[in-house]
Amino acid sequence: MRCFALLSVLLLLSLPASFASAGLLLSYESGVAGAVGQAGAADPTSQGWSVNTAGSAPDYSFGQDSGMGGWRITDGTSRDLYFYQCDLTSSQASLMQSQDWAANWTVGVNADAVGRPGIGTVNDYYSAVPGRQNNNVLWIEVANEYLYVLSY
Protein backbone atom coordinates (compact mmCIF):
# COMPACT_ATOMS: atom_id res chain seq x y z
CA MET A 1 0.00 0.00 0.00
CA ARG A 2 1.43 3.35 -0.99
CA CYS A 3 0.83 5.87 1.74
CA PHE A 4 2.24 9.28 2.46
CA ALA A 5 1.02 12.57 3.81
CA LEU A 6 1.56 15.90 2.15
CA LEU A 7 2.29 18.48 4.80
CA SER A 8 1.61 22.20 4.88
CA VAL A 9 2.92 23.16 1.44
CA LEU A 10 2.50 20.36 -1.05
CA LEU A 11 4.11 22.15 -3.94
CA LEU A 12 5.21 25.62 -4.88
CA LEU A 13 6.43 25.73 -8.45
CA SER A 14 7.95 29.08 -9.26
CA LEU A 15 10.34 30.95 -11.49
CA PRO A 16 13.34 32.63 -9.85
CA ALA A 17 12.83 36.29 -8.96
CA SER A 18 15.78 37.32 -11.13
CA PHE A 19 13.68 36.87 -14.26
CA ALA A 20 11.47 39.72 -15.43
CA SER A 21 8.44 37.47 -15.73
CA ALA A 22 9.07 35.63 -12.45
CA GLY A 23 6.07 34.41 -10.52
CA LEU A 24 4.29 31.51 -8.95
CA LEU A 25 3.19 28.89 -11.46
CA LEU A 26 1.10 26.62 -9.21
CA SER A 27 0.74 25.76 -5.55
CA TYR A 28 -1.16 23.90 -2.86
CA GLU A 29 -1.49 25.04 0.76
CA SER A 30 -3.01 22.74 3.38
CA GLY A 31 -4.05 25.74 5.47
CA VAL A 32 -2.87 24.20 8.75
CA ALA A 33 0.52 23.86 10.43
CA GLY A 34 2.54 20.75 9.62
CA ALA A 35 2.44 19.06 13.02
CA VAL A 36 0.96 15.99 14.70
CA GLY A 37 -2.64 16.61 15.76
CA GLN A 38 -3.25 19.37 13.21
CA ALA A 39 -6.44 18.38 11.40
CA GLY A 40 -8.43 20.31 8.83
CA ALA A 41 -6.17 20.25 5.76
CA ALA A 42 -7.70 21.52 2.54
CA ASP A 43 -8.57 18.99 -0.14
CA PRO A 44 -6.32 19.74 -3.16
CA THR A 45 -9.40 19.69 -5.40
CA SER A 46 -10.59 22.83 -3.58
CA GLN A 47 -7.51 24.63 -4.95
CA GLY A 48 -7.76 23.71 -8.62
CA TRP A 49 -6.08 20.31 -8.56
CA SER A 50 -7.86 17.33 -10.09
CA VAL A 51 -7.78 13.83 -8.65
CA ASN A 52 -6.99 10.82 -10.81
CA THR A 53 -8.08 7.48 -9.42
CA ALA A 54 -7.11 5.47 -12.54
CA GLY A 55 -9.87 2.97 -11.89
CA SER A 56 -8.89 2.35 -8.27
CA ALA A 57 -11.54 0.95 -5.97
CA PRO A 58 -12.50 3.61 -3.37
CA ASP A 59 -12.01 1.10 -0.53
CA TYR A 60 -8.31 0.92 -1.35
CA SER A 61 -7.41 4.32 -2.80
CA PHE A 62 -8.36 7.67 -1.34
CA GLY A 63 -7.18 11.07 -0.19
CA GLN A 64 -7.98 12.40 3.28
CA ASP A 65 -6.89 14.80 6.00
CA SER A 66 -3.75 13.27 7.55
CA GLY A 67 -4.37 14.71 11.01
CA MET A 68 -0.79 15.97 11.04
CA GLY A 69 -1.10 19.19 9.10
CA GLY A 70 -1.47 17.89 5.58
CA TRP A 71 -3.34 15.82 3.06
CA ARG A 72 -2.81 12.06 2.94
CA ILE A 73 -2.93 9.79 -0.07
CA THR A 74 -3.43 6.07 0.50
CA ASP A 75 -3.26 3.69 -2.45
CA GLY A 76 -3.66 0.05 -1.53
CA THR A 77 -3.91 -1.25 -5.07
CA SER A 78 -1.20 -3.24 -6.78
CA ARG A 79 -1.28 -1.45 -10.13
CA ASP A 80 -3.73 1.46 -10.23
CA LEU A 81 -2.65 4.99 -9.39
CA TYR A 82 -4.23 7.59 -7.16
CA PHE A 83 -2.77 11.07 -7.51
CA TYR A 84 -3.54 14.77 -7.77
CA GLN A 85 -2.54 16.81 -10.78
CA CYS A 86 -2.63 20.42 -11.83
CA ASP A 87 -2.31 21.21 -15.51
CA LEU A 88 -0.26 24.21 -16.57
CA THR A 89 -1.51 26.67 -19.15
CA SER A 90 0.42 26.90 -22.42
CA SER A 91 1.97 30.20 -21.29
CA GLN A 92 3.13 28.62 -18.00
CA ALA A 93 4.64 25.70 -19.92
CA SER A 94 6.43 28.13 -22.25
CA LEU A 95 7.90 29.97 -19.27
CA MET A 96 9.19 26.70 -17.82
CA GLN A 97 10.74 25.77 -21.16
CA SER A 98 12.53 29.09 -21.56
CA GLN A 99 13.61 29.87 -17.99
CA ASP A 100 14.98 28.23 -14.87
CA TRP A 101 12.40 27.24 -12.27
CA ALA A 102 12.26 25.79 -8.77
CA ALA A 103 9.96 23.35 -6.99
CA ASN A 104 9.57 23.35 -3.19
CA TRP A 105 7.50 20.94 -1.12
CA THR A 106 7.26 19.25 2.26
CA VAL A 107 6.39 15.58 2.64
CA GLY A 108 5.90 13.49 5.76
CA VAL A 109 5.50 9.77 6.24
CA ASN A 110 3.03 8.65 8.92
CA ALA A 111 4.38 6.30 11.61
CA ASP A 112 1.88 3.65 10.54
CA ALA A 113 3.32 3.69 7.03
CA VAL A 114 6.27 1.62 8.21
CA GLY A 115 5.02 -0.15 11.32
CA ARG A 116 6.99 -0.97 14.45
CA PRO A 117 7.64 -4.35 16.11
CA GLY A 118 5.40 -5.00 19.10
CA ILE A 119 3.10 -2.06 18.38
CA GLY A 120 -0.23 -2.55 16.65
CA THR A 121 0.32 -0.28 13.70
CA VAL A 122 -0.60 -0.77 10.06
CA ASN A 123 2.35 -1.75 7.89
CA ASP A 124 1.54 -0.11 4.56
CA TYR A 125 4.73 -1.36 2.90
CA TYR A 126 4.13 -5.07 2.52
CA SER A 127 7.24 -7.06 1.61
CA ALA A 128 5.10 -9.33 -0.57
CA VAL A 129 4.66 -6.48 -3.05
CA PRO A 130 7.95 -4.51 -3.16
CA GLY A 131 6.61 -2.30 -5.95
CA ARG A 132 4.33 -0.63 -3.45
CA GLN A 133 7.38 0.85 -1.76
CA ASN A 134 8.18 3.06 -4.74
CA ASN A 135 6.17 6.21 -4.22
CA ASN A 136 6.23 9.15 -6.59
CA VAL A 137 6.04 12.21 -4.41
CA LEU A 138 6.41 14.75 -7.18
CA TRP A 139 6.16 14.30 -10.94
CA ILE A 140 6.48 17.29 -13.27
CA GLU A 141 6.07 16.99 -17.02
CA VAL A 142 5.91 20.03 -19.29
CA ALA A 143 4.87 19.72 -22.93
CA ASN A 144 6.15 16.12 -22.98
CA GLU A 145 9.72 17.41 -22.82
CA TYR A 146 10.69 17.92 -19.18
CA LEU A 147 10.38 15.32 -16.50
CA TYR A 148 11.16 15.65 -12.82
CA VAL A 149 10.35 12.83 -10.44
CA LEU A 150 11.13 12.48 -6.74
CA SER A 151 10.64 8.95 -5.42
CA TYR A 152 11.31 7.26 -2.14
pLDDT one-digit tens code per residue, 77-135? 666 677 888 887 888 777 777 777 777 777 666 555 555 566 554 544 444 444 444 45
User: Measuring CA to CA, how many Å separate 10 from each of 54, 95, 108, 113, 119?
Assistant: 21, 21, 10, 19, 30
Task: Give how far Cα 105 sits from Cα of 8, 53, 66, 99, 109, Å.
Answer: 9, 22, 16, 20, 14
Q: What is the pLDDT of residue 35?
A: 75
**Residue type at position 61:** S
- Does 118 or 136 have the greater pLDDT score? 118
Confidence at 11, pLDDT banded by 50, 70, 90: very low
* pLDDT of the residue at 51: 85
Mean pLDDT, all residues of the chain: 66
Confidence of residue 152 (pLDDT cuts 50, 70, 90): very low
Nearest to 65 by CA among 73, 57, 75, 53: 73
Query: What does the longest C-alpha to C-alpha distance in the chain come to?
Result: 57
| Sheet order of strands, 102-104 included | 24-29, 9-14, 102-104
Region 25-51: what's the mean pLDDT?
84
Is residue 113 within 8 Å of 107, Cβ to Cβ? Answer: no
137 and 152 Cβ atoms separated by less than 8 Å:
yes
What pLDDT is stored for residue 52 in this prediction? 80
Radius of gyration of the chain (CA): 17
Domain boundaries, the chain: 2-151
What are the DSSP calls for 29-58, one per residue?
A: E-SS-SSTT---PPPGGGGT-EEE-TT--T
- Percentage of the chain exceeding pLDDT 70: 45
Q: pLDDT > 90: what percent of the chain?
A: 1
